[in-house]
Structures are given as C-alpha cells and as structure tokens.
Amino acid sequence: RQILISRVTIGVVGDGSSGKDSLIKAVFGLDTGNVHPVAGSTKDAKIYSLGETGAIHLVNYPGFNDIREDVNGNTNDMLHYTDVFIMVVDITRGISGTDERILQKLKTFNRPLLVCLNKVDLPRPQDKDTLLKAAIERLQGVPLVETSFDPDPRLGKVHPQNCTLVYKWVVDQVAQAGKETSHIPKADDV
C-alpha cells in the first residue's frame, strides 16, 4: 500500500528524435538501447522501474505527431497517469508548431513540466542565440534548460550538459509532491 501511495511516474516526452532516450541515459543512467537518429524508432511507451522500491516509474513516450494513429492514441491515453513531465525539444530544428502543440497539451494536465532545449552544442554560435530567443518566445510559461544529452565529440564536447539541473528539478518536483526521492537513481556523472 505504501508503494502505491508514494508511486511517482516521470514522463519523458517530445517530438521524434529530439533526444528522449539520450536524456534517460544521461540523467538517470538507464540505457534504453534505443538511441536512434530516425524518428519513429520508439513505437510504444516504454516503462522502466527506477530504483529498487518499484515506486518510481519512468515512461519513455514515443515521439508525438507519429504518422501511426494507434501510437498517438496510446500516448495520449497514458499521459493522464504521469506525475512529472520532461519535454525534450531538438533546438537545432527550431521550435515547431508540433513542439508548441505538445507543450499546450502537457500544460492541460497541470503537472510539473520542464522543457529541455536539447542539442545546444550543435548550432553555429551565430545561430544559437536566435534559436534560443525563439524558444523562449514560443515556449512560455514553463522552465527551460539548455541541454546536450549526447554531445558530438567532434565539436569538442564530450560530456552531457546540464544533466544535474534536470535531475535536481525532477527530485525537487517529486519531493514537493510529498514523495520519497532517495531511491531515484542518477547517472554516474550527474
């Protein structure tokens, strides 16, 4: 009964190939084996138990706006059971209408929501400021954090960026909900 009372579900959401699997690995140390550059590689929501108590579940949602209606329907149904949302946006593609629609949908649940502006290591410096400014303008009303969960080593970045901020945000949200946080695992380098 205590597990049911204290259970927390963390949902990782976003458009296809935005870096959801990379976030799960970089922040929580869980290798889903599904880091793939092609959108649509996650066909079903994958549920992972974090920690040893079974009280923390992490849901890796398939990319929103999938061409398969059954994938979208299943995703929409499961969102109702998520306590904390982490939305991943690929900043290199700019902020799309899909990103805005995802954010608006998630806001309707009135649950804690963090947006990770992922892949900030990839844009040219002169483009990065423009992309970030557009993100701030179009994704209002939620905290934003610049991330690079799977940095390109050819660009001199070998360590993921701001994973600790994401992890601490999740832990803070879970604690504010009155749930136990000591068993939420983190990646070794977070």
Give the residue, 113 or 179, on which the prediction is more confident. 113
Question: Which residues lie closer than 8 Å to 9 by C-beta, 6 or more apart?
Answer: 57, 58, 59, 81, 82, 83, 84
pLDDT one-digit tens code per residue, 11-36: 999 988 899 999 999 999 998 886 54
Mean pLDDT of the 41-45 span = 63
With cut-offs at 50, 70 and 90, classify the pLDDT of residue 65: low
Q: How confident is the model at residue 90 (pLDDT cuts 50, 70, 90)?
A: very high
Mean pLDDT of the chain: 85
Please compute the mean of the pLDDT values over residues 87-103 and round it to a whole number: 94
Q: What is the pLDDT of residue 155?
A: 78
Percent of the chain with pLDDT over 90: 53
Tell me the DSSP string of 101-165.
HHHHHHHTT---EEEEEE-TTSS-HHHHHHHHHHHHHHSTTS-EEE-BSS--GGGT--S-BSHHH
The dihedral sign for the CA sequence 87, 106, 64, 97: negative
What pLDDT score does 190 carry? 64
pTM assigned to the model: 0.88
Q: How many H-runs (helices) and E-runs (strands) does the chain carry?
A: 6, 6
Report CA torsion sign: 153, 64, 33, 184: positive
Round to whole Å and give the CA distance between 158 and 54: 32
The answer to whether 170 touches 86, Cβ cutoff 8 Å, is yes
